[in-house]
């Protein structure tokens, strides 16, 4: 059965304190690994797509990496505006996107 | 470029009433999706359209939920009659196409409609 698990559920960071979020998956026939950011009361905002193991992508303080079983979202020197829920989603063989439950990140000034 | 538009943003109804949500995707996007997001969970796919045809509706509770996409552009999702457990945020997303090569194409989401069923 296809599964997507994100950890931790919640992460509290001090401004400037770097950390990583994990997305592990058991999927047959991966059709892309997607990271989204969701602010309270808003829809998910697209961040990255990763297609194959070893791939890395960066945007400002965020860097996403992909292996055959998991993806990491690294947040370097976070700022309060990086506070949000980060969602991981995997593209399945039946052309659907399956989401994890998300990691809620709070960055204190 | 305008994003995905949804209305209304909020809706409060009594159980057993009906409700409808509207979505206008990004211009030119062929594929449209409706998701249900319950508080504390990730979005769950309800139905996906390619132009005005249904690609997958296996997770749509068809006894009470219906959706249509007329002329391959706007879409409406209806719930009739609503139950307490339908309280959630209903998200619409669109992508230029279903696949980009062998991977799913990137989906872009609207702001969602928060439904409360009392």
- Dump pLDDT digits (tens) for A35-93: 999 999 999 999 999 999 999 999 999 999 999 999 999 999 999 999 999 999 999 98
Nearest chain A residue to B5 by CA: give it.
A43
What local confidence, expressed as pLDDT, does residue B70 receive? 83
Q: Nearest CA to CA, how far is B24 from chain A (Å)?
A: 14
Q: What residues in B contact A91, CB-CB < 8 Å?
A: 103-104
User: Smallest Cβ distance to B45: which of A32, A87, A97?
Assistant: A97
Euclidean distance between CA atoms B34 and B26, whole angstroms: 14
Cβ contact A64:A73 at 8 Å: yes
Size of interface A-B (CB pairs under 8 A): 63
Residue A4 has pLDDT above 80, yes or no: yes
SS3 assignment, position B70? helix
Q: β-strands A103-108, A10-14: how paired? A: parallel
What local confidence, expressed as pLDDT, does residue A46 receive? 97
Q: Nearest CA to CA, how far is A22 from chain B (Å)?
A: 15
Which residues of chain B carry a pLDDT beneath 70?
1
* B82-103 exposure pattern, b = at least 16 Cβ within 10 A, e = fewer: beeebbbbbbbbbbeeeebeeb
Alpha carbon B54 to chain centroid, angstroms:
13
Query: DSSP class of residue A78?
Result: -
Q: What residues in B contact A41, CB-CB < 8 Å?
A: 111, 114
Q: What residues in B contact A100, CB-CB < 8 Å?
A: 42
Euclidean distance between CA atoms A72 and A64, whole angstroms: 6
- Contact yes or no for B91 and A101 at CB 8 A: no
CA atoms within 13 A on the CB side of B89: 22
Strand partners, A50: A33
Residue A1 has pLDDT above 80, yes or no: no
């Amino acid at each position: 059965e296809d599964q997507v698990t994100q950890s931790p559920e919640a992460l509290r960071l001090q401004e400037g304190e770097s950390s990583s979020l994990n997305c592990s998956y058991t999927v047959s026939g991966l059709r892309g690994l997607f990271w989204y950011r969701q602010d309270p009361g808003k829809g998910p905002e697209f961040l990255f797509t990763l297609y194959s193991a070893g791939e890395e992508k960066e945007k400002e303080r965020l860097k996403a990496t992909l292996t055959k079983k998991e993806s990491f979202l690294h947040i370097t020197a976070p700022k309060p505006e990086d506070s949000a829920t980060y969602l991981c989603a995997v593209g399945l063989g039946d052309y659907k996107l399956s989401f994890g439950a998300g990691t809620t990140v709070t960055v204190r000034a | 470029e305008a994003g995905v538009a949804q209305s209304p943003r909020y809706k409060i109804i009594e159980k057993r009433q009906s409700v409808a949500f509207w979505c206008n995707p990004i211009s030119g996007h062929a594929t449209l999706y409706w998701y249900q997001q319950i508080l504390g969970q990730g979005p769950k796919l309800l139905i996906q359209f390619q132009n005005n045809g249904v690609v997958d509706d296996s997770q749509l509770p068809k006894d009470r939920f219906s959706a249509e996409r007329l002329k391959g552009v706007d879409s409406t999702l209806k719930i009739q009659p609503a139950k307490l457990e339908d309280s959630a945020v209903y998200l619409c997303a669109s992508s230029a196409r279903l696949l980009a090569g062998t991977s799913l194409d990137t989906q872009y989401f609207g702001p969602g409609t928060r439904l409360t069923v009392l």
